Structure formats: structure tokens, C-alpha cells
Amino acid sequence: MERYAEPPSQGTRTAVAVKGHPLHPMLVTFPIAFLISVPGSDLAFLLTGDPFWARTSFWLLGVGTAMGFVAGLSGTVELLAVRGIRRRAAAWSHFVAAVMLLAVAFANWFLRLGDPVGAIWFWGLYMSGLGALLVAGAGWIGGHLVFEHQVGVVDEEGD
């Protein structure tokens, strides 16, 4: 019987890659950049009153959520396909934080669907800040998986 309390001490190979380069770390850069920018564009709207910034937040949320879904699919396949990743508690924490982030980002985008300007104060701004915190948390845990656990950086066939 496998022991799940202790994750493997060596690194873990990737299952979703192009020529050995893991897709998930490449794809997450887009939703991170887009979703972390939303509070800034929300604040720019509140400071200037220019609806350009409200529309910018709306598009950042929409494209960030869509790209996050694509990145999430590749990460979910990694999580489920590679036993060495599945056995790490940090991988499950990263998964939960990322799912929460996508739910908040989608809800924030949906909230603004009818009126991107009117939806910013109060709930839009609150959800943007919450999304930024979730981006930071999921990113921190993801970095921990790569740099501390060596997930997705080992080319060997063993997991």
C-alpha cells in the first residue's frame, strides 16, 4: 500500500508538455497578468471616471478567466495523470486556490456583463481585490511546487 503522508523526495516529471516543456507553467502567465491587473484598472476608473478603464477591467476579467480555464485544464490533467504530483498536499492546495480564483474571476466578469461601469463600486472592486489575493496565493503555492518540490522540471520517466 502506498503511503500518502510523505510525498516523493525527488522531482516529478510532467505529463502535459511540448518537447519536454510543461504547458501549465507556460499558460498560467496570461491569466496571472490579466487578473492581477483588474484592481489597477478598477482604481483607474474610480480615480478618473473614464469608462475606458471599466471596459478594460471587463475585458481583462473575461480573457483572464478564459485563459485561466485553459491553464487549469492542463494543470488538472497533470494533477490527475501523474501520481507524484497527486501525492503532494501542495498540489491539491494549488488546485483548490486556482478553482476558487476562476470562480471569483468568472463571477466578477458576469457581474459586469450588463453594466461594466456601474458594477465596479462596490462588489466589482471587492471581487477584483479578492481575485488578486487568490492569484498571489495560487501563484505562491505553484511556485512552491516548482522550486521546492521540483514538479514538472524532471525529464525522467519515473514519478
Check residue 158 and give its pLDDT: 46
Question: How far, in Å, CA of 86 to CA of 79, rounded?
Answer: 5
Q: Which amino acid is at 136?
A: A
pLDDT tens, 126-155?
A: 999 999 999 999 999 999 998 888 887 765
Residue ranges of domains in the chain = 23-151
Measure the CA–CA gap between 156 and 77, rounded to whole angstroms. Answer: 18
Q: What does residue 5 show for φ and ψ, rounded to 5 degrees?
A: -70, -30
Mean pLDDT of the chain: 91
Residues with Cβ within 8 Å of residue 120, at least 6 apart in sequence: 42, 45, 46, 54, 57, 112
- Tens digits of residue pLDDT in 41-70: 999 999 999 999 999 999 999 999 999 999
Burial class (CB in 10 A: 0-12, 13-18, 19+), 4: exposed
Q: Indicate the pLDDT class of residue 3, thresholds 50, 70 and 90.
A: low
Higher pLDDT, 100 or 157: 100
